[in-house]
Amino acid sequence: MSHFAKLLLAVGATLCFLGRLHATGYYGPDFYLDDGGKNVDGSPEFYWGLEVRRLAKEFHPTEKRVVSEKAEHKSDEEASDNSDLSDATEDADLKDFDVALKEGRIKPPDPAKAKEEHKLAREIITSPTAEFDSEFADYHRGAGAYLNKNWEEARNAWEDLLKRPEQDRHYRTVWAAFMLGKLGLKTNDYQSASQWFQRTREFAKAGFADSLGLGAESYGWEGRAEWKQEHPEKAAPLFLTQLALGDPSAVVSLKALIPDREPVEGMLNYGPEADERSSWNDEQKKEEEQKEISKLKSAAQDPLLRRLLTVHILATASSPDLYPSDSEAAPVNRCARWLNIIKQANFGGIEDAEYLGWVAYNNGDYKGAAHWLELSKGGSGAALWLRAKLQRRDGKLGEAAKTMAQAVESLRSAPAYNPTAENDEKWTEYDYFPEGPDWGWGQSAHGDLGELRLARGDFVQAFDTLFKGHLWNDAAFVAERVLTTKELKEYVDALLGTPPPKEGEDYNAKLKYLLGRRLVREDRYADAEPYMSPPYDKVLEKYVKALKDGANEKLSKTERAHAWFTAAWLARYDGMELMGTEVAPDAFTDSGAFEFPDLAKQRRSGFYQQVSYDKDGNEKKKNVPIALKASQKEIQRLTANKIEPDIRFHYRLIAGALAIKAAALLPDNSEELADVVNQAGLWVKDRDEKTGNRYYQIIDRRCPKTKIGQADVAKHWFGDQTGPWSASEEEAYRAMHKELEPEPSSE
C-alpha cells in the first residue's frame, strides 16, 4: 500500500476523478498515442524537404560546391543576384590573381603595380579604371557593365575574354561563361543561358580554374533557365543535382515544377498569387483548372516529374484546412485526380509505386493502396510501412508489428534518410525528428511501432521504441503507468554513464529523474535518492526525516505535529519536483502549465472522448473506441500503477493529508491547529471539494474560538491567512532553498 493510501485510511478522505480537459491556447503535438491512438490508422506526415532529398540521393555530380560563411546566411535571391560581388568572389579574385603571377600565367612589366591595380579595380568595379590587360581586366570590365545593366557591353567583355588563347584565360573562363549564362537570364534569352551554364561545367571539367565552385552553382541556374522555357522535365534533374550538391535553395526551386501547387500567402509562389486567384470568375477558374490538368498529364509521362508530383501531394494534400470558409468551394481532391491521371496513362511499370499506394491510402482507397504496393518492389521503408498499415487494418497485429519493425530499421539505415555530410545531418535531424507542431517522419514510424508493441503486450520493447523515437511524452506514459518499477529501473541503470548530448535536452537524465519521482511515490525513498535531480535529492532527505519524526512516538505530540506539517509543506511546495508525474495527472514535463490527456483512462476504458463543434460553435462530445485495445495484462498494470490520488497536482492532496495528521496531535482551539488545517484546506480546495469540505468541518468543530477559525467560519470557507506555524515553515523553506539554490517550482 502506498504512503498516500495509508494517509487516506487515516483521515477518511474521499477523492474524485477529474475528466480530461485541454487548456485553451495550447498548440503542437503532445502524445502520439492520444485520441485513442488513431495515428496508427492514419497516414504519416510526409515532408517535401525530406522526400526531394531522398530523390536527390540518386544524383552523383562530380562538381564541388563552394560556399562562403556569409553567403550561407543569405536568401536564395540575395545569393543569386550578388554572387559575383560577394566576399567569396572578392577573396577568390585576389587569390587567383596572386597565383597567376606566381605561376607566370600573366606577366605584367611591374607585378607589384599590376597587383595594386587589380585590387583597386575590385574596389571600384563600377567605374572604369586603368588595369593591366589580362583575363582579369576583361572580367572586371564585364562585371562593371553588368552592375550598371549595360548588358551588351558586359557580353562583349566576357566574350572577348573567351576569345583569348586558352593559356591566357585559365582563371576567368569559368567565371565568364557563368556570367554569360546569368546575362541570358537577365535578357530573357533562356536558351542561350542554358547553353552557357552547360559550358560553365564543361570548362571546369576541362581544367580551367573554378575557385568559386561555379560548375556546381550552374545546375540551379540552368534549372531556372529551363523552367523559364517551360521545360520542367529538364529542370527537375538539374534542381535535384543542385540539391545533391548541398544547396538547400533547390528544395524551394523544385516546387516551381508542381503545376497544381496552391499559392501560400507570405511565401514564395510561382504563378498567380492567392488574391489574384480569388478574383477569377468561374470561366477563368475552369480555364486554369484545364491548364493544370494538361500539365499534370504531361508530368505523369516523365518518371522524375511523376515522382515529384506524388511526393508533393503526399506532403500537402493530406493536411485539411482547419478553418474552411462556408463561401469557398470544396477544394480539389488532388489525391483522387492524380491517381486517375496515372490510371489513364496505363503504365506497365512505375517507379516508387508504394508512394502512389500512400496517395491512395490518404484518399481512403485501401484496396488501391494494396494494388500499388504490390506493384512496388516492396522493400523500401515506405513500402514496408504501408504494408504494416494494411496488415493492421486487416487485424493482423502480429504481422503488422513485425513488418513495422522492419520499416523502422529500413528508414533508419536507408542512405536516403541517413546523413553523409555535415549539411545532411542538419536537415535529416530536423525532418526526421523535428521539434515543432508536426510529427516527424521518424517520430511517426516509431510511434506506430510503439503502439503496435504496446497493444501486443511487448511493454519494454514498446517503451524502448517510443523513447528512441523522440516521443518523450508517450514514452513517459509507458514508463510511469505500464512498466513495472523493476523493468524501468533496469532500463535506466543500463543508460547510466551514457554521455549527455552536445546540445538539446538530455533525455537519459530526464528518464532517470522520472524514475526517482516514481520511487518516491512508492515510498521507496532510499532507492529514489540516487535518481533524483539535484538539489531535490537533498530536499528528499529533509522530507524523509520529517516523515520519520512525525511517526516517532518517542517525540512529544507537538514535535511530531510540527514534523508532519514540515513534511506537508515540502510536499505542497516541492511536491512537483519530489513526486510529480511526468505526464498525467501532474504534467511535470510542462511544469504543470497544461492538463495532459489521460491515456491510462483511455486504454483502460477502451474509449476516448472526441470533441467537435457545430456551426454555432457549440461543443459536442462523444465516446469513440480506441484504435488498438489494451490487453488484459496492460489493464492490470495500469490499475496496479495507478496514481494515488489520480488527480492533477496530486501531491497537494498528499500535503493536505499530512497536515491533517499533524492536526490530529494538536489541542482544540489552538492557533497552531487552526493554522495547520486552514493551510491544508487552501491546498486541496481547488483539487477536491469534498476533501476540502471535510477539512472545513474540522475548522468548524475544533477551532471556532481561534482567530483563523472565526475568520473561516464567517466566510464559510478557508481564508488566505498566515498563522504561527505556516509563517515559520515559509521562513525555513526559503532559507533551505536559498542554501540549495534549486530552480523554483511554478506549482
Local confidence band at 97 (pLDDT 50, 70, 90 cut-offs)? low
Strand partners, 625: 607
Specify the 3-state DSSP secondary structure of 37: helix
What is the arithmetic mean of pLDDT over 386-391?
98
Alpha-carbon separation of residue 643 from 76, 114, 170 (angstroms):
54, 82, 76
Do 667 and 698 fall into the same domain?
yes
Q: How far apart are CA 655 and CA 674, in angstroms?
A: 16
- The DSSP secondary-structure symbol of 380 reads S
Specify the 3-state DSSP secondary structure of 392: helix
Which is higher by pLDDT, 68 or 302?
302
Do 107 and 235 fall into the same domain?
yes
Where are the extended beta strands (E) located within 247-338?
A: none
Local confidence band at 23 (pLDDT 50, 70, 90 cut-offs)? very low
Q: Quick count: other Cβ atoms within 10 Å of Cβ 432?
A: 21
Burial of 204 (0-12, 13-18, 19+ CB in 10 A): buried
Residue 665 falls inside a structural domain = yes
Do 287 and 140 fall into the same domain?
no
Closest by CA to 181, choosing from 166, 167, 200, is 200
- Per residue in 616-650, pLDDT (tens digit) is 788 888 999 999 999 999 999 999 999 999 999 99
User: What local confidence, expressed as pLDDT, does residue 439 receive?
Assistant: 85
- 585 membership: H or E segment, kind and range: none
User: What local confidence, expressed as pLDDT, does residue 117 receive?
Assistant: 61
pTM of this structure: 0.85
Please say whether the beta carbons of 480 and 507 come within 8 A.
Answer: no
pLDDT for residue 90 is more than 80? no
Do 280 and 311 fall into the same domain?
yes
User: What local confidence, expressed as pLDDT, does residue 19 receive?
Assistant: 26
Strand partners, 516: none
pLDDT for residue 109 is more than 80? no
Provide the b/e sequence for 702-717 (b: ≥16 CB within 10 Å). bbeebebbebbbeeee
User: What local confidence, expressed as pLDDT, does residue 318 receive?
Assistant: 57
pLDDT for residue 69 is more than 90? no
In the chain, what is the greatest distance between 2 CA atoms, to the nearest angstrom?
111
Peptide bond before 44: cis, by omega within 30 degrees of 0? no
Q: Quick count: other Cβ atoms within 10 Å of Cβ 422?
A: 8
Local confidence band at 12 (pLDDT 50, 70, 90 cut-offs)? very low
Please say whether the beta carbons of 401 and 19 come within 8 A.
Answer: no
- Per residue in 249-304, pLDDT (tens digit) is 999 999 999 998 877 666 666 777 677 777 788 887 788 888 889 999 999 999 99
User: What local confidence, expressed as pLDDT, does residue 93 receive?
Assistant: 62
- 620 membership: H or E segment, kind and range: strand 619-625
Q: How far apart are CA 478 and CA 459, in angstroms?
A: 8
Alpha-carbon separation of residue 548 from 552, 555, 566 (angstroms):
6, 11, 11
Cell of 743: 530552480
Which of 235, 257, 279 corresponds to the end of one domain? 257
- Per residue in 612-625, pLDDT (tens digit) is 887 878 888 899 99
Strand partners, 622: 610
Do 276 and 215 fall into the same domain?
no
Local confidence band at 121 (pLDDT 50, 70, 90 cut-offs)? low
Residue 746 falls inside a structural domain = no
Closest by CA to 170, choosing from 203, 195, 198, is 203
Please say whether the beta carbons of 165 and 174 come within 8 A.
Answer: no
Please say whether the beta carbons of 531 and 515 come within 8 A.
Answer: yes
Of the chain, the end-to-end C-alpha distance in Å amounts to 27
**Angle, helices 724-740/557-573, rounded to nearest 10 degrees:** 60
What is the arithmetic mean of pLDDT over 42-69?
89
What is the arithmetic mean of pLDDT over 562-577?
98
What is the arithmetic mean of pLDDT over 310-322?
73
Please say whether the beta carbons of 308 and 258 come within 8 A.
Answer: yes
Q: Quick count: other Cβ atoms within 10 Å of Cβ 647?
A: 20
Phi, psi of 625 (to 5 degrees): -60, 145
Distant-in-sequence, close-in-space partners of 420: CB < 8 Å, separation ≥ 6: none
What is the arithmetic mean of pLDDT over 37-55?
91
What is the arithmetic mean of pLDDT over 178-192?
97
Residue 169 falls inside a structural domain = yes
Do 666 and 725 fall into the same domain?
yes
Local confidence band at 87 (pLDDT 50, 70, 90 cut-offs)? low
Do 715 and 568 fall into the same domain?
yes
Distant-in-sequence, close-in-space partners of 724: CB < 8 Å, separation ≥ 6: 671, 672, 675
Give the number of domains in the chain. Answer: 3
Do 157 and 304 fall into the same domain?
no
User: What local confidence, expressed as pLDDT, does residue 112 receive?
Assistant: 64
- The DSSP secondary-structure symbol of 621 reads E
- 624 membership: H or E segment, kind and range: strand 619-625
User: What local confidence, expressed as pLDDT, does residue 614 receive?
Assistant: 79
Q: Quick count: other Cβ atoms within 10 Å of Cβ 498?
A: 10
Of 175-179, 376-380, 631-635, least confident by mean pLDDT is: 376-380
Q: How far apart are CA 743 and CA 745, in angstroms?
A: 6
Q: How far apart are CA 509 and CA 589, in angstroms?
A: 13
What is the arithmetic mean of pLDDT over 414-426?
65
Which of 257, 283, 309 corresponds to the end of one domain? 257
User: What local confidence, expressed as pLDDT, does residue 25 receive?
Assistant: 40
Do 249 and 290 fall into the same domain?
no
pLDDT for residue 6 is more than 50? no
Distant-in-sequence, close-in-space partners of 167: CB < 8 Å, separation ≥ 6: 105
Do 284 and 183 fall into the same domain?
no
Which of 202, 226, 257 corresponds to the end of one domain? 257
Local confidence band at 574 (pLDDT 50, 70, 90 cut-offs)? very high
Provide the b/e sequence for 300-321 (b: ≥16 CB within 10 Å). bebebbbbbbbbbbbbbbbeee
pLDDT for residue 149 is more than 70? yes
What is the arithmetic mean of pLDDT over 29-58?
91
User: What local confidence, expressed as pLDDT, does residue 81 receive?
Assistant: 43
Do 136 and 237 fall into the same domain?
yes
Distant-in-sequence, close-in-space partners of 77: CB < 8 Å, separation ≥ 6: none
User: What local confidence, expressed as pLDDT, does residue 542 receive?
Assistant: 97
What is the arithmetic mean of pLDDT over 540-564?
98
**Own/partner long-range contacts of 131-135 (Cβ < 8 Å, ≥24 apart):** 132/106, 132/108, 134/100, 134/106, 134/108, 134/168, 135/106, 135/161, 135/164, 135/168, 135/169, 135/170, 135/171, 135/172, 135/173
CA 594 to chain centre: 19
Q: How far apart are CA 217 and CA 71, in angstroms?
A: 13
pLDDT for residue 326 is more than 60? no
Do 170 and 225 fall into the same domain?
yes
Burial of 461 (0-12, 13-18, 19+ CB in 10 A): middle
pLDDT for residue 530 is more than 50? yes
Specify the 3-state DSSP secondary structure of 363: coil
Residue 13 falls inside a structural domain = yes
Please spell the DSSP secondary structure of 410-424, one letter per residue. Answer: HHHH-GGGS--SHHH
Specify the 3-state DSSP secondary structure of 581: coil
**CATH no. for residue 135?**
1.25.40.10
Q: How far apart are CA 220 and CA 197, in angstroms?
A: 9
Cell of 449: 511501432
Which is higher by pLDDT, 312 or 110?
312
Of 28-37, 107-116, 267-276, least confident by mean pLDDT is: 107-116
Distant-in-sequence, close-in-space partners of 399: CB < 8 Å, separation ≥ 6: 391
User: What local confidence, expressed as pLDDT, does residue 742 receive?
Assistant: 56
Identity of the residue numbered 624: V
Give me the percent of the chain exceeding a pLDDT of 70: 82
- Which domain does 294 fall in, by range? 268-320+331-376
Closest by CA to 653, choosing from 720, 731, 733, 568, is 568
- Per residue in 342-360, pLDDT (tens digit) is 999 988 788 999 999 999 9
Phi, psi of 612 (to 5 degrees): -140, 170
Q: How far apart are CA 644 and CA 481, in angstroms?
A: 12
- The residue count for the chain: 747
User: What local confidence, expressed as pLDDT, does residue 438 receive?
Assistant: 77
User: What local confidence, expressed as pLDDT, does residue 278 receive?
Assistant: 76
What is the arithmetic mean of pLDDT over 111-122?
61
What is the arithmetic mean of pLDDT over 14-18?
24
Q: Over 587-615, what HEC string results? A: CHHHCCCCCCCCHHHHHHHCEEEEEEECC
User: What local confidence, expressed as pLDDT, does residue 389 receive?
Assistant: 97
Residue 450 falls inside a structural domain = no
| Location of C-alpha cell 483539487 | 687
Residue 294 falls inside a structural domain = yes
Q: How far apart are CA 118 and CA 141, in angstroms?
A: 12
pLDDT for residue 547 is more than 70? yes
Residue 242 falls inside a structural domain = yes
Residue 50 falls inside a structural domain = no
Computed over every residue of the chain, the mean pLDDT equals: 86
Closest by CA to 107, choosing from 134, 130, 125, 72, is 134
